[in-house]
Structure 1
Amino acid sequence: MKTAVSVPDDIYAHAERVAKTHGLNRSQFYSIAVKRYADELESAELTSAIDAVVELVNADESTASAVSAGRRAIAADDESW
């Protein structure tokens, strides 16, 4: 897919230099850069969600007890196999 974006001159020049140094054409370079940044943002969102759950679990001892009980039940079930 073709698209057009506006990029500041200094960033454009930097991207061109780096792409050339690594044997990439402009499309390859921008595709890699956009994918990596999008993945990084999604990963940060997931990390934040996990951190929120961990904080919630740590704040409530009954939750920790429930998790422990669940782990024991799973371990006991695994032994029956």
Structure 2
Amino acid sequence: MKTAVSIPDPVFQEAEELARRLGWSRSQLYTKAVHDLIVRYSDDPVTEALNALEDVEAAQAPLTPARKLIESGAWSW
């Protein structure tokens, strides 16, 4: 499918350079980028199930000092 999108000039130039270095067409680069974002932000039933299980176990377990720190939000990157 053909489409038109607006991209800031600096991002476009960086994308052009990356496509050139990888030996990809512009279409290949944008397709890969969009696909990777879709995969990254897609619902994953396995991860959701593991997260739900962890939530149940965490609710039943005593809080360790590390968990208290994490849940307090006092830590940062």
Q: The TM-score by the shorter chain falls in which range? A: 0.5 to 0.7
Unpaired stretches in structure 1, ≥5 consecutive residues: 62-81
- The CA distance in 1 between the partners of 2:17 and 2:52, in whole Å, is 41
With CA pairs under 8 Å and 6+ residues apart, which has the higher RCO, 1 or 2? 2
Structure 2 match to 1:26: 26
TM-score, scaled relative to structure 1: 0.60
Q: In the TM superposition, what whole-angstrom CA distance separates every residue of 1:22-69 from its partner, at most 9, and x where no partner exists?
A: 100100110001001111111xx444x3424421343258xxxxxxxx
Structure (1 or 2) with the larger CA radius of gyration: 1
Q: State the distance in 2 between where 1:57 and 1:12 align.
A: 46
Write the distance in 2 (CA, Å) between the matches of 1:51 and 1:5.
36
| TM, length-normalised to structure 2 | 0.63
Task: Determine the C-alpha separation between the residues in 1 that align with 2:8 and 2:51.
Answer: 36
| RMSD between superposed Cα atoms in Å | 1.9
**Which structure 2 segments of 5+ residues have no match?**
62-77
The percent identity for this pair of structures is 36
Aligned pair count reads 58
Higher helix fraction (1 or 2): 1
